[in-house]
A and B are shown apart, each in its own frame.
Chain A
């Protein structure tokens, strides 16, 4: 395993062990700003880790970013790793990120579905769900982005355990979801949540479970517009944006709806690139350009959150 984050290859895909080792190296090398928090264990008892970026203070308003909730979306973990390294490299250089970190903390959960991710390396590259099993149920896994307590079990999720969008027996039945719920609820001061998926080049906000516009829809629309513009200016990749139910499809029990209903006004879901022909098998050569453009969009959302306290 690599001994330092500077010799780590950011333009390659990595295994769970390599990512967890990289996390330890990052924390060791930048202990002034980064720490590692263990927020729970997955169904198969793997650690669920969150990186905390903080320049001090206590209980500061915070921004939550998660990647890899659907394990086959490898570009999301790789983008999260690059972004984490970007934060430690840039935070002391002044500018937008320094302002953000002087006022807020940032939490990044790089591998939100560790069991599924390990399975994509060992057995089935195209696995999406977690690996939970229950007596009497023939198929394995729950779609972790249908297991949240917001519109749970509604349209756009499936109660067939063999379906790729199986919502699970009850809200937060999955330890990977419950761990985040407990952490964010316990923290109590998360002001923005960004959940990163792939693919189809979209930036979306609640609701997914209903066509009903959210209270600050206007604000979210313009914030998404600005973020997508910032993203486009990096490599010319076009995203569409809007609420999940009107831009993509109705989906129930999803992360960003749960966050919004918990009072997190700035809740966004990214669908990163595939540039039209690779789908989940985006070549590693596109990791860094994807991360570079995504970073500018995320920075736009974080800056807006900082300058619009609530």
Chain B
């Protein structure tokens, strides 16, 4: 099982098309640095992206340097995954 310890999901609210295209630029990075859970669609919709722990600092710096407002939707993915796995095991028991 892949481990997602420290990975976070950031929820970004792009104000306009220009900010959306800054987020789309992230999508094209090689190797892939972010996994869009909700891709950049339109200013009225949030963009959710999973950021590996190792990339967090750079990505947050990128967002802040471009004035992109964000919040941390999931603080540590692995915590939720562990809970999910435990709940499944309990249900099986």
Interface residues of A (CB under 8 A from B): 9, 11-14, 122-126, 162-164, 199-200, 248-249, 277-281, 283-284
Residues of A within 8 A of B77 (CB): 126, 281
Known: A125-B1, A200-B38, A248-B45. A281 touches B80 (CB 8 A): yes
Q: How large is the interface on B (under 10, 10 to 19, 20 to 34, 35 or more residues)?
A: 20 to 34
Contact B37 A279 (CB under 8 A): yes
Give min CB distance, B10 to chain A, whole Å: 11
Distance A127 CA – B27 CA, assembled complex (angstroms): 17
For B84, give its contact among A9, A124, A249, A283 (CB under 8 Å). A283
Contact B87 A164 (CB under 8 A): no
For B80, give its contact among A124, A163, A164, A278 (CB under 8 Å). A278
Give min CB distance, B88 to chain A, whole Å: 6
Contact A279 B9 (CB under 8 A): yes
For A277, give its contact among B30, B42, B73, B81 (CB under 8 Å). B73
Cβ contacts B18-62/A at 8 Å (1 or 0 each): 000000000100111001111111100100101000000000000
Contact B88 A12 (CB under 8 A): yes
Give the 5 A-B CB pairs with smallest separation, nearest first.
A12-B91, A249-B41, A281-B80, A124-B2, A9-B91
Residues of B within 8 A of A284 (CB): 84, 87-88, 91
Residues of B within 8 A of A123 (CB): 1-2
Residues of A within 8 A of B73 (CB): 277, 279
Distance A124 CA – B27 CA, assembled complex (angstroms): 20
Distance A199 CA – B9 CA, assembled complex (angstroms): 14
Residues of A within 8 A of B2 (CB): 123-126
